[in-house]
Chain A
Amino acid sequence: MMLFLEALLLQAGRNAALVSVGAALLGLSAGAAGTFMVLRKRALVADAMAHATLPGVALAFLVMVAFGGEGRSLLGLLLGAAATAALGLWAVECLTSRTRLPEDASIGAVLSVTFGAGLVLLTVIQAMSAGQQAGLEGFLLGSTAGMLQADALTVAAGGAIAGLVIWALRRPMAIVAFDEGYAATAGIDVRRTDLAGMLLVLFVTVAGLRIVGLVLIVALLIIPAVAARFWTDRAGVLLAVAAGIGGVSGWVGTALSATAPSLPAGPLVVLVAAGIFAASLLFAPGRGAVARARAARRAAPILSREESLRWIALRHADPSSPLIAQDDGRTPLSALLPVEQIAGLDRRIG
């Protein structure tokens, strides 16, 4: 508990603090970029990109080793990841636009084939460096334990850059995401905004690889956006709420993972986001399940039995009846009319 609080307050060492700040920045960017992607109904394209990073990471390692390096430079590995992720995105676009395969099939095909290629390359690396660990497994599920300071700085810088780009592009992105037609008439280039959005998603995916891991990074893009949808209908607010949820998830998740070396960061970040999502699904005012159930109960009988009885009684009452004089719509019917008369009316409406 103490460890968790220390990590949360950035007191658990300089690297841990850098990682937390980086993860929070990354979460912010992922929430915002993911909102764009989810509203454009392309949520799972990012999953294809994320899985396509694996061969890139492995190839970058092999290239760096071939040039006599150690193969551990995070920046180098991420550059490789970005290259193959872009190839994966291109492959999805090609299969969807140039063949008759639907987008979901293209995503599934690219995701599994690129990931398979990555696994093949990983076994090549394992065979090469028998005995010593290449440490690439951390990219599958993310890990913050034993991160070098340079790596932590890379993550923090990546998060910051993505955040700045999103801040600059927030208006065109929000407009295109909500209303393509209006965006076009307002002079926004929809195709280029779409491309910018997808590149941003790619950037966040790659930057988040080391912390969240390639299997789960798509969750950090989707879940904040889906959770934020419960709280607002307005584009700007939605982006901000999603970014906030992503940021909190990154911050709290990495702090939790700092409490024990065996706790992988990726699943924790995702589970914090999922917790916020579940809370939103249940308790958000207006759209949450509880609020909806309550509204449904309030609205359920259009006229209650009491109201129907009152209405009939009023129509049939003679002018001298106490009902006409005293009814204010709130006094219970039983206080105004004798019991047998109410029972009689009740029988008449069946």
Chain B
Amino acid sequence: MGAEFVQLSLPPIMIGICAAVACALPGNFLLLRRQALLGDAVSHVVLPGMVVAFLLTGALAPIAMMLGALVAALLAVVLIEAVRRWGNVEPGAAMGTVFTTLFAVGVLLLETTGASGVHLDVEHALMGNLESLIWFAASDWGSLLDPAALAGLPPELGRLALVLVAAVLYIAVLRRPLVAATFDEGFARATGQRPAAVGLGLVALAAAAAVTAFEAVGAIIVIAMFVVPPATARLLTDRLWTQVWLSAGLAALSAALGYILAGYGPLWLGGEHSVSAAGMIAVVSGLGLALAARLGPRRHRREALPLP
């Protein structure tokens, strides 16, 4: 647990934890608002956005990539709404129509323009490259206090930490309107709390988290962390804020445990190669959900409360 761990494993674990918690926090409210699949939809449309941004700028500048992805995410939200209204179809079908089409556009652009020669490719987009986010500048644990070494941390960590702080701030500052907009939109409107704006902010926050995390760790962690930790926490408690903190803890635990199991697990079992960390993080969180679905104290739907 010395220099090697600090260089190779600590940064990916930190990045994984930041990404997981930044997705899980807004995921709680999406889950309660029946928008749980938004993370899934956004992470599919991020690909065409990034490809178009790359084709326009000719470089892999993170800012351009993120802008492209955000524009694509917003376009998808507008298109889903349009299909739902004009097509008179249920939200799930509208979502499925739009995000698969945009994803198909992204793959086709990637394959036909030669953009796949660079580090953009579909498998990379799905699996991420958590393992490659290492900290060359570190020598041992002391590097955590050395400003020169800290400046050499992977830039993804800074970006994800920023998104995480933004998520915490949004939820902390707007907690009352957020709760009102989530549980009783009519009440929120009547008391002048603008639930539509709060909801839109939540979607924007989720999109920002998805895009940033996607770029660093791949789609699968994004999709899993939006849904699984909040769903697990939902089966453990009735109290909203307990659920939010529990989900953050579960997300962080999945990220750390998943990374360690993927990196070291096969070695313990006598193998030579590590396995996909992104996949393992999703699997670990899924095991948590399975346990909660079997044993969670609040796993059942509540009967209607008896009248007093």
Known A116-B224, A264-B108, A274-B104: A108·B126 in contact at CB below 8 Å: no
- Give the distance in Å from the alpha carbon of A72 to the alpha carbon of B96 in the complex: 31
Inter-subunit contact A262/B272 (CB<8 Å): no
A316 to chain B minimum Cβ distance, whole angstroms, is: 45
How many chain B residues touch A (CB < 8 A): the figure is 67
Selecting from B52-60, B68-76, B279-287, the interface stretch reads B279-287
Give every chain A residue within 8 A of B39 (Cβ-Cβ): 108
Inter-subunit contact A100/B37 (CB<8 Å): no
Q: Please tell me if B276 contacts chain A, counting CB pairs below 8 Å.
A: yes
Give every chain A residue within 8 A of B224 (Cβ-Cβ): 109, 112-113, 116
Question: How many pairs of residues, A versus B, come closer than 8 Å at their CB atoms?
Answer: 212
Inter-subunit contact A109/B289 (CB<8 Å): yes
Q: Please tell me if A234 contacts chain B, counting CB pairs below 8 Å.
A: no
Q: Which residue of A lies closest to B230 (CB)?
A: A105
Contact check: which of B37, B272, B276 meets A123 at CB < 8 Å? Answer: B276
Inter-subunit contact A108/B96 (CB<8 Å): no
Inter-subunit contact B37/A113 (CB<8 Å): no
Inter-subunit contact A44/B289 (CB<8 Å): no
Interface string of A79-110 (1 = CB under 8 A from B): 00000000000000011001111101111110
Q: Which residue of B lies closest to A105 (CB)?
A: B36
Contact check: which of A42, A44, A113, A230 meets B228 at CB < 8 Å? Answer: A113
Contact check: which of A120, A141, A215 meets B280 at CB < 8 Å? Answer: A120
Give every chain A residue within 8 A of B89 (Cβ-Cβ): 38, 226, 229
Selecting from B133-141, B181-189, B298-306, the interface stretch reads B298-306
Known A95-B293, A274-B97: A116·B286 in contact at CB below 8 Å: yes
- Give the distance in Å from the alpha carbon of A340 to the alpha carbon of B97 in the complex: 58
Give every chain A residue within 8 A of B81 (Cβ-Cβ): none
- Give the distance in Å from the alpha carbon of A215 to the alpha carbon of B45 in the complex: 12
Known A108-B40, A113-B282: A230·B220 in contact at CB below 8 Å: no
Q: Please tell me if A156 contacts chain B, counting CB pairs below 8 Å.
A: no
Contact check: which of A106, A107, A274 meets B101 at CB < 8 Å? Answer: A274
Inter-subunit contact A219/B123 (CB<8 Å): no
Q: Please tell me if A347 contacts chain B, counting CB pairs below 8 Å.
A: no
Give every chain A residue within 8 A of B103 (Cβ-Cβ): 215-216, 267
Q: Please tell me if A119 contacts chain B, counting CB pairs below 8 Å.
A: yes
Contact check: which of B90, B101, B226, B262 meets A270 at CB < 8 Å? Answer: B101
Residues 89-147 of A at the B interface (beta carbon under 8 Å): 94-95, 98-102, 104-109, 111-120, 122-124, 126-127, 137, 140-141
Give every chain B residue within 8 A of A274 (Cβ-Cβ): 97, 100-101, 104
Q: Which residue of B lies closest to A262 (CB)?
A: B111
The main secondary structure of chain A at its interface with chain B is helix
Give every chain A residue within 8 A of B278 (Cβ-Cβ): 116, 119
Q: Please tell me if A238 contacts chain B, counting CB pairs below 8 Å.
A: no
Contact check: which of A42, A44, A287 meets B37 at CB < 8 Å? Answer: A44
Q: Please tell me if A263 contacts chain B, counting CB pairs below 8 Å.
A: yes
Q: Please tell me if A268 contacts chain B, counting CB pairs below 8 Å.
A: yes
- Give the distance in Å from the alpha carbon of A98 to the alpha carbon of B296 in the complex: 12
Q: Which residue of A lies closest to B281 (CB)?
A: A116
Inter-subunit contact B107/A264 (CB<8 Å): yes
Inter-subunit contact A109/B283 (CB<8 Å): no
Inter-subunit contact A115/B220 (CB<8 Å): yes
- Give the distance in Å from the alpha carbon of A111 to the alpha carbon of B219 in the complex: 12
Residues 28-49 of B at the A interface (beta carbon under 8 Å): 31, 34-37, 39-40, 44
Give every chain A residue within 8 A of B293 (Cβ-Cβ): 94-95, 98-99, 101
Q: Which residue of A lies closest to B287 (CB)?
A: A113
Q: Which residue of B lies closest to A124 (CB)?
A: B275
Inter-subunit contact B104/A115 (CB<8 Å): no
Known A100-B301, A120-B262, A216-B100: A127·B235 in contact at CB below 8 Å: no
Q: Please tell me if B115 contacts chain A, counting CB pairs below 8 Å.
A: no
Q: Please tell me if B201 contacts chain A, counting CB pairs below 8 Å.
A: no
Give every chain B residue within 8 A of A216 (Cβ-Cβ): 100, 103-104
Contact check: which of A111, A122, A277 meets B40 at CB < 8 Å? Answer: A111
Inter-subunit contact B279/A120 (CB<8 Å): yes
B235 to chain A minimum Cβ distance, whole angstroms, is: 6
- Give the distance in Å from the alpha carbon of A115 to the alpha carbon of B123 in the complex: 12
A89 to chain B minimum Cβ distance, whole angstroms, is: 16
A130 to chain B minimum Cβ distance, whole angstroms, is: 8
Interface string of B212-224 (1 = CB under 8 A from A): 0000000010011
Contact check: which of B122, B226, B235, B274 meets A141 at CB < 8 Å? Answer: B122
Q: Please tell me if A225 contacts chain B, counting CB pairs below 8 Å.
A: yes
Known A117-B283, A120-B279, A127-B275: A112·B223 in contact at CB below 8 Å: yes
Contact check: which of A100, A267, A268 meets B235 at CB < 8 Å? Answer: A100
Give every chain A residue within 8 A of B100 (Cβ-Cβ): 215-216, 218-219, 222-223, 270, 274
Inter-subunit contact B112/A262 (CB<8 Å): yes
Q: Please tell me if A298 contacts chain B, counting CB pairs below 8 Å.
A: no
Contact check: which of A38, A41, A112, A141 meets B107 at CB < 8 Å? Answer: A141
Give every chain B residue within 8 A of A119 (Cβ-Cβ): 126-127, 220, 276, 278-279, 282
B226 to chain A minimum Cβ distance, whole angstroms, is: 7
Q: Please tell me if B87 contacts chain A, counting CB pairs below 8 Å.
A: yes
* Residues of B participating in the A interface, judged by any CB pair closer than 8 Å: 31, 34-37, 39-40, 44, 83, 86-90, 92-97, 100-101, 103-105, 107-108, 111-112, 122-123, 126-127, 220, 223-224, 226-228, 230-231, 234-235, 262, 266, 271-276, 278-283, 285-286, 289, 293, 296, 298-302
Which 7 residue pairs spanning A and B have beta carbons closest together?
A: A116-B282, A113-B286, A119-B279, A219-B100, A127-B273, A108-B227, A112-B224
Can you offer 21 A-B residue contacts whose CB atoms are under 8 A?
Answer: A41-B90, A42-B92, A95-B293, A101-B231, A105-B31, A105-B36, A105-B231, A112-B224, A117-B279, A118-B279, A140-B123, A140-B126, A219-B101, A222-B100, A223-B97, A263-B111, A264-B107, A268-B104, A270-B101, A274-B104, A289-B86
